[in-house]
Chains A and B, each alone.
Chain A
Amino acid sequence: MAELSDKELQILSEEIDKQGLTYTQLQKELLDHLCCDIEAKMDEGIEFLKAFEEVSQKLENDRIQQIQEETLLLINQKYRMMKKFMYILGTIAPSLMILGAIFKFQHWPGASILISLGTALLAVIYLPVFAMVSIRDTRKKGKKVNKALYVTGVITGFIFLIGILFKIMHWPGANVALTFSVLLTVAIFVPILVTHAIRDKENQLQNFSVLIFILAMMAVNIMVFALKVSKNVLSSMVVTAMDNMTTAQMIGSNNTLWLENFSNDEADLIAEKTQNLDQLLQLTMVDILKATHEDNHSAVATGNSIDLKKAGYFDAHHGTELVIFGDENHPGKGEALLSAMEEHRNLLKSHSGNELDKTIDRLLYTGELDRHDYKVTWLEFHFYHAPMISALNTLSSLQQKIHYLEGEVLKGIRAEKPEITE
């Protein structure tokens, strides 16, 4: 069995080089193949140079370049389609998000759908595809793939995007997801990225840009996370709530004083029912305070009076939601409050003249309300995701209204039956 000498190998190798193959895999295989061919011919007695010439001839005829192209095409088909898909998706997903943001800004309907769709596409499909294409690219360049980088990158990015999505849609768990992704980024992803950047000198600029981008995203992340109600808004709302309560009490005592000079069964009924509803509202506020945080117990004195100066956690909303809507273990008290208000409204209307009806309906309205692009129930509007102080405002303001209405209705009753005194 003939074997080519080193020199003969060299000659053949140079001939192949002339063909200008770039795909080294193919080149090595071609070299070996042609060696075997020549060796076979030499076994039949043809000497090297002649065998070499025959083989070279075939080489020309074989359109080596074309074959290389065809090979590369076949191998890369799936990869190139994936890459194209990635580019398209990479344009669509953020566009949807931006469109959705514009819609939200303009209060047009469908904003939430656009934003959630865009974010979901980005997190669930684009991110993994981008990772796969990057890995393939790195392999093609013949460099080692940093698996840790890709795994942590995809996972962190995914959790981050999911966190943003949940935050925008006001779904539970948003803060958990965002916090977790920040921790992951800081503790694991950034170190891996930095070590990768240091080693990978070629792409230093690119890696540095990615790092800057990641840090910027984290800053945004932290801001979004801290996007609770602004302190100024909170403190002004506390003042309003306290004023509401004081005013309610004042009007209430006025009415009581007034009733001392004049009373009948009807008036007493109105006063009693008003007091009951006032109590219910007060108890609801106490419950919400306590449910929001243990420390708020100190803000509630005997007789269920409330001193907001001793309370805190005004921006928390879980306490409100627990009391109004309930959970698996406790029924919500919202519905009961709603029926009490409706009952009171009907009571007042039946004991007053028609002129007062509109005011009563307006002040004690319990129907649906508009929230941006859709309608919500009265309870949802006032208490869903409402900071504690906002719920307290709603309830204390209601106390004010019922005492005001009490006064008006009593005046009406007095006017109708002026002969009844003391």
Chain B
Amino acid sequence: MYGYEITQEVERLTEGKVQLSWGALYPALHKLESDHLITSEEESIGKRVRKYYRLTESGTNAAKEKIREFIDFVTIMGRVLDTGPSLNLA
């Protein structure tokens, strides 16, 4: 996927709640690339050059790891917040 496509996809999946700005997205993409977690391919479209990104193998593994961590985190928080009547929420 290319940069703009990524922002569109995120906006679509979150129903507009998360809008990735250019300033948030591109530094992250370049850092990921320099860490060899993603690679890129450039394609010329007329006078423009479009960079397509894709996950590398180590990138895929890292992504799975991060997702796992995040799910763990959410689960733990859920347990904390789900505690029963001892919470005195007046």
Chain A interface residues (CB < 8 Å from chain B): 6, 9, 25-26, 28-33, 35-37, 62-64, 66-67, 70-71, 74-75, 78
Contact = CB atoms under 8 A, between A and B. Distances in A.
17 contacts: A6-B47, A9-B46, A25-B30, A32-B4, A32-B45, A32-B48, A33-B4, A37-B4, A62-B21, A62-B23, A66-B23, A71-B26, A71-B27, A74-B30, A74-B31, A75-B30, A75-B31
Contacts of A62: 21-23
A67 B4 CA distance: 17
A37 B46 CA distance: 17
A239 to B, nearest CB: 70
B47 A29 contact: no
Interface of B: 2-4, 21-23, 26-27, 30-31, 33-34, 45-51
A75 B34 contact: yes
A70 B27 contact: yes
Nearest to B2: A32
A31 to B, nearest CB: 6
Contact of A9 (B23, B34, B47, B50): B47
A35 B51 CA distance: 14
Contacts of A71: 26-27, 30-31
A9 B48 contact: yes
Contacts of B50: 32
Contacts of A31: 48-49
Given A33-B3, A74-B31, A67 B26 contact: yes
Given A67-B23, A75-B34, 5 more contacts: A29-B3, A36-B4, A74-B27, A75-B31, A75-B33
Nearest to B48: A32
Contacts of A70: 27
Nearest to A79: B34
A33 B50 CA distance: 9
Nearest to A69: B27
A26 B4 contact: no
B75 to A, nearest CB: 30
Nearest to A9: B47
Contact of B22 (A28, A33, A75): A33
A372 to B, nearest CB: 51
A139 to B, nearest CB: 12
A30 B22 contact: yes
A29 B34 contact: no
A69 B45 CA distance: 27
A28 B49 contact: yes
Instruction: Please indicate which of the listed interface residues A30, A31, A64, A74 has the most CB atoms of chain B within 10 Å of its own CB.
Output: A74
A6 B51 CA distance: 20
A29 B51 contact: yes
A26 B26 CA distance: 8
A186 B23 CA distance: 52
B69 to A, nearest CB: 21
A282 to B, nearest CB: 72
Nearest to B45: A32
A29 B50 CA distance: 7
A78 B50 CA distance: 27
A378 to B, nearest CB: 61
A74 B34 contact: yes
4 closest residue pairs by CB, A with B: A36-B4, A74-B31, A71-B27, A75-B34
A79 to B, nearest CB: 9
Nearest to B31: A74
Contacts of B4: 32-33, 36-37
A205 B52 CA distance: 40
A400 B55 CA distance: 84
A76 B3 CA distance: 21
Contacts of A30: 22, 26
Contacts of B22: 30, 33, 62, 67
B14 to A, nearest CB: 17
Contacts of B51: 25, 28-29, 32
B50 to A, nearest CB: 5
B3 to A, nearest CB: 5
A67 B22 CA distance: 9
Contact of A32 (B3, B33, B34): B3
A80 to B, nearest CB: 12
Contacts of A64: 23
A64 B45 CA distance: 24
A412 B51 CA distance: 104
A343 B17 CA distance: 99
Contacts of A75: 30-31, 33-34
Contacts of B3: 29, 32-33
Contacts of B26: 26, 29-30, 67, 71
A316 B3 CA distance: 72
